[in-house]
Structure 1
Amino acid sequence: MTVRRVNVVILVLLVIAFLIILHRNLLNLNDFLKQENPDTASGMVLPFETDFLSDHKVIRTGDEIPVVITAPEERLGATVTAMNSIYRNSKANVVFSIVTLNESVVHLRTWLSKTDLKHKIIVFDLKILTGKIPTDPQKVEAVKPLTFARFFLPVFLPEAEKVIYLDDDVIVQGDIQELFDSSIKLGHAAAFSEDCDSASSKGIVRGAGNQNSYIAFLDFKKEAIKKLGMRANTCSFNPGVFVANLTEWKQQNITSQLEFWMERSAKLVCVLLFYKSRTLSFKIPEPFLYVIFRNKIYKVKTDFNNQFPS
Structure 2
Amino acid sequence: MAQNPPALDQEYVHVALTSDENTIVGTVAAVNSIWKNSRSPVKFLLLTNDVAYPMMKQWIENTELRDITYDLKQFDASLMNYARFFYPILFPDVHGRVVHVDDDCIVQGDITELANTAIKDGHICAVSEDSNPISSKYNFYQSVYPDFINFEHPEIQKIGLNAQQSSFNVGVYVMDVDRWREANITDQVFYWTELNSREDVYGSGKIMGGSQPPMMISLHDRVSLFEPIWHVRELGASAGTRYTRDFIETAKLLHWNGSFKPWKGTSAFGDIWDKYYVADPSGKVTLPPKAQNRKL
The answer to whether residue 9 in structure 2 is matched with residue 88 in structure 1 is no
Q: Does 1:237 align with 2:165?
A: no
Aligned equivalent of 1:152: 86
**Percent identity over the alignment?**
30
Map Cα deviations across residues 153-212 of structure 1 (whole Å, 9 max, x no partner).
2112212222111111111010001011112111111111111115237798xxxxx462
Deviations 1:106-135 (A, max 9, x none): 111111112211112110135xxxxxxxxx
Alpha-carbon distance in 2 for matches of 1:64, 1:263: 35
Query: Is the Cα–Cα contact under 8 Å of residues 69 and 98 in structure 1 kept in the other structure?
Result: yes
Please state if 1:259 is matched with 2:190.
yes
Structure 1: distance between partners of 2:52 and 2:35: 22
The DSSP-based 3-state class of the residue aligned with 2:87 is helix
SS in 2 for 1:99: strand
TM-score (norm 1): 0.67
How far did 1:70 drift? 0.7
TM-superposed deviation, 1:255: 1.0
Instruction: Provide the rounded CA distance (Å) in 2 between the counterparts of 1:110 and 1:79.
Output: 14
1:288 aligns with 2:214: yes
- Whether 1:165 aligns to 2:100 is yes
* Aligned 8 A contact 1:224 1:274 in 2: no
Please list, as runs of the form range in 1=range in 2, the aligned pairs for 1:167-246 lying within 5 A after superposition: 167-200=102-135, 210=141, 212-246=143-177
Contact 1:71–1:79 (CA under 8 A) maintained in structure 2: yes
Unaligned runs of 5+ residues in structure 1 are 1-57, 127-143, 205-209
Q: Is the Cα contact below 8 Å between 1:203 and 1:307 reproduced in 2? A: no
2:71 to 102, 112, 120: 120
- Number of residue pairs matched by the alignment: 227
Deviation (angstroms), 1:279: 8.1
For 2:69, the aligned partner's letter is K
Is 1:307 matched up with 2:233? yes
Classify the secondary structure of the residue corresponding to 1:88: helix
TM-score normalized by the length of structure 2: 0.70
Alignment partners' CA distance in 1, 2:206 and 2:5: 48
Separation in structure 2 between the aligned mates of residue 253 and residue 113 of structure 1, nearest angstrom: 35
Q: How far apart are 1:94 and its partner, in Å?
A: 0.6
2:51 paired residue number: 103
Q: Higher helix proportion, which one?
A: 1
How big is the alpha-carbon RMSD for the aligned residues of Structure 1 and Structure 2?
Answer: 2.5
Distance in 1 separating the partners of 2:44 and 2:60: 11
2:212 & 2:45 partners in 1: Cα distance? 22
The one-letter amino acid of 1:105's match is: Y
**Which aligned segments of 4 or more residues in structure 1 are displaced greater than 4 angstroms?**
58-62, 201-204
1:73 and 2:4 equivalent?
no
Q: Report if the CA contact (8 A) 2:144-2:164 is conserved.
A: yes
Is the 1:216–1:276 contact (alpha carbons within 8 Å) kept by the matching residues of 2?
no
* Rg larger in structure: 1
C-alpha contact 1:154 1:250 (8 A) present in aligned 2: yes
Contact 1:225 1:274 in 2 (8 A): no
Shift of the 203–105 alpha-carbon distance from structure 1 to 2, 3 Å rule, reads farther
